[in-house]
């Protein structure tokens, strides 16, 4: 019994010593921008205050620190492209197959939160009304597509006006914005395209769907944001 108590204490102390990873964040100026819309629809003008957002999606290495600190739980591993098992060899790849609750736990551990969908869209398109992070409509050679996620930030041309990476494709991303399903189950808005996306299809900054908070997917990840300068 004493040995078990000592082991639990050592485990607890080890978790307490796990430091938070250093994550590069990008400053997004506050301003008024086109929310939603299309080439033939001006959408709505929306004004936001300044904020900071992760330059890339949260990586396997970063998320693993949170699991080691016992503040996060291990992602789903039910599907072939779920990459948690590769965290030692592909630590620079974005973590996928995480639920909204798991993503939220990581951001809270980092003393941050997930961006709202309005913040996500501003970070992706800027104030000029772009339909794609890189301005023009051609996605050829710009985005991550294929059999699974690419290394975070690897596709240099998939860059927003603020320098935020992979908002065209790599993983779709959870946001903090709430909604409900048709049967009134709690859900959250998901923005952006994923690695399953074909070039030129659903990579617009307007891409939007929702999932229940306990759902996860092979092409779904997240990034964090904050209103306080990091």
Residue 173 bridge partners (DSSP):
191, 221
pTM, rounded to two decimals: 0.89
Q: What is the mean pLDDT of residues 43-64?
A: 95
Query: Does the pLDDT value for residue 1 go beyond 90?
Result: no
| Mean of pLDDT over the chain | 89
Instruction: Answer with the residue of higher pLDDT: 200 or 134.
Output: 134
pLDDT tens by residue, 62-115: 999 999 999 999 999 989 999 999 999 999 999 999 999 999 999 999 999 999
- Is 27:50 a contact under the CB 8 Å cutoff? yes
Split at pLDDT 50, 70, 90, the class of 13 is very low
* Share in percent of the chain as helix, strand, coil (round to 5): 20, 20, 55
> What's the CATH number of domain 21-226, 3.90.1200.10, 3.40.50.1820, 3.90.1580.10, 3.30.360.10?
3.90.1580.10
Cα separations in angstroms, 121 against 15, 32, 79, 138, 144:
36, 12, 29, 19, 19
Among left, alpha and beta (phi > 0; psi -120 to 50; other), residue 207 is: beta
């Amino acid at each position: 019994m004493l040995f078990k108590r000592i082991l639990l204490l050592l485990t607890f102390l080890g978790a307490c010593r796990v430091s938070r990873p250093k994550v590069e964040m990008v400053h997004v100026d506050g301003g008024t921008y086109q929310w939603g819309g299309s080439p033939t629809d001006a959408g709505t003008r929306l004004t936001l205050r300044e904020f900071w957002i992760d330059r890339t999606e949260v990586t396997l290495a970063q998320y693993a620190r949170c699991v080691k600190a016992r503040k996060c739980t291990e992602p789903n591993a039910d599907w072939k492209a779920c990459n948690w098992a590769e965290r030692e060899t592909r630590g620079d790849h974005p973590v996928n197959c995480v639920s909204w609750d798991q993503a939220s736990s990581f951001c809270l551990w980092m003393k941050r939160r997930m961006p709202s969908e309005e913040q996500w869209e501003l970070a992706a398109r800027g104030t000029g009304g772009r339909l794609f992070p890189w301005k023009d409509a051609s996605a050829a050679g710009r985005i991550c597509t294929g059999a699974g996620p690419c290394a975070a930030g690897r596709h240099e041309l998939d860059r927003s006006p603020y320098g935020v990476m992979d908002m065209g494709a790599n993983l779709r991303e959870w946001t903090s914005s709430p909604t409900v399903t048709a049967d009134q189950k709690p859900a959250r808005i998901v923005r952006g395209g994923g690695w399953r996306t074909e070039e030129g299809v659903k990579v617009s900054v307007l891409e939007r769907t929702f999932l229940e908070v306990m759902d996860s997917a092979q092409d779904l990840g997240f990034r964090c944001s904050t209103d306080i300068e990091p």
